[in-house]
Structure 1
């Protein structure tokens, strides 16, 4: 099992560099924290998750503050379910100051 994410800034059309990402379990216990790299990615968020519900929290306020861009969402929380402990899970985030979207990536 592995977990990764990729954050893209939809306004600039570039990777969102320096976004803090926190992974928590269903009890809200923090499992890991990371920061997106120069390509807007965190390649190895986890490699040991068992089936269950997890959350990725993206610190969008910090990202937009660094860019000096006013934004509406101070954080984005994406809940997802691990059903196959042998699978790779990729959770991308397409981000703008007033909207966001996500999907299950590959």
Structure 2
């Protein structure tokens, strides 16, 4: 079974996907891969990186998005650290944001 990763960013204040947000994935071996949320706030394009077990960090650059949509941004970015396990299948890392709060969890 292979390992795959996706993310979804939702703006909880507007009740809409957060389109056009920059992401940076740092992989278990230190590789850095840039991403961008699509019009539905989703990102699953990681430059054909082959995921393996290990610790990863997904940085969401929230400041520009929040300033553009809310004119306020307490968090310039949000880092979510997580661990993928061998044969773990698909991993989904959602982020729920507002100008003064955020939440993440392992989705499906």
TM-score by shorter chain over 0.5: yes
- CA distance in 2: counterparts of 1:84 and 1:38, whole angstroms: 31
Unaligned regions of 5+ residues in structure 2, if any? none
The alignment covers a number of residue pairs equal to 105
1:37 paired residue number: 38
**Deviation sequence 1:71-103 (CA, Å, 0-9, x none):** 110000000000134511100000011110011
Conservation of the 8 A alpha-carbon contact between 1:4 and 1:91? yes
- CA distance in 1: counterparts of 2:68 and 2:30, whole angstroms: 27
2:22 paired residue number: 20
Unaligned regions of 5+ residues in structure 1, if any? none
- TM-score normalised by length of structure 1: 0.89
**Deviation sequence 1:19-78 (CA, Å, 0-9, x none):** 101100246441x11110110001333651111100000000121122252111000000
Determine which structure has the larger strand proportion and give its number. Answer: 1
Q: RMSD over aligned Cα, in angstroms?
A: 1.7
- CA distance in 2: counterparts of 1:28 and 1:61, whole angstroms: 24
